[in-house]
Amino acid sequence: MDLIKTIAIVSLSAVATAAFTSPPPLAALKSGGEASRLFYFHVPIAQVSFLSFMVAAIYAIVYLRKRRADHDHSAATAAEIGLIFSVVALITGALWAKQAWGAYWNWDPRQLFLFALVLFYGAFFALRQATTNSDTKRRVSAVYLIFGGAISPFLFFVLPRLYRSLHEDANEVVMSAGPQSTMSPQVATVFVLSIVGFVCLFIWMFKLGLAASRMEDGSDSGRE
């Protein structure tokens, strides 16, 4: 765990330093400019939020098969981290959009579908809190998170590409790879380092969240 924590701190510190001391990474694009420094944070955060929702769905499936409380805790913790990261992705995206497109909110497909995911998982936690019976809460939560894991790829990757988007120029940079890549080696290095850092941050937060959930579960059992 100490290694994961160290990698997260060192990686994200290096990314923050590079982001604000090197030239803007997407200066040549319409969505470039000084605000494109957020590219190093906004895109990896959004990607790790998707990873979080997939992890939540996997643990939900395992819970339905084995009916162990720790798998329910793991699923809920991963979903909570995914929701936090999605909200941060919305905020950083809005800040970037203000500079690039003139408004914080532009009804862009990616903005809309990410916002839909935030509402979806926000509703999940409202439902979870409203369900008092532990067994029912865990079963309903598992089914909900599996459904969320099924729709998340469509909301993140499929549906936004079916509509004309203001993100198209930046998408070309992110999705390009190999000899045809339009991302400079320096930008690519910082971008990959950012992904590594945020993945390690997810693991760190996941372990902390699990420990807190188990303590709370133990306290609730003691009160009963």
Lowest mean pLDDT among 44-53, 178-187, 201-210: 178-187
pLDDT band of 174, cuts 50, 70, 90? low
Residues in Cβ contact with 71 at an 8 Å cutoff, skipping those fewer than 6 apart: 59, 60, 62, 63
Is the pLDDT at 198 greater than 60, yes or no?
yes
**pLDDT value of residue 57:** 97
The pair of three-digit structure tokens given for residue 213, joined into one six-digit string:
């959930």
**pLDDT value of residue 221:** 45
End-to-end CA distance of the chain: give it in Å, rounded.
33
Residues 83, 121, 117, 149: is their CA dihedral positive or negative?
A: positive
Are 73 and 210 in contact, with CB atoms under 8 Å apart?
A: yes
| Per-residue pLDDT tens over the stretch 33-59 | 777 888 899 999 999 999 999 999 999
**pLDDT value of residue 171:** 56
**pLDDT value of residue 36:** 81
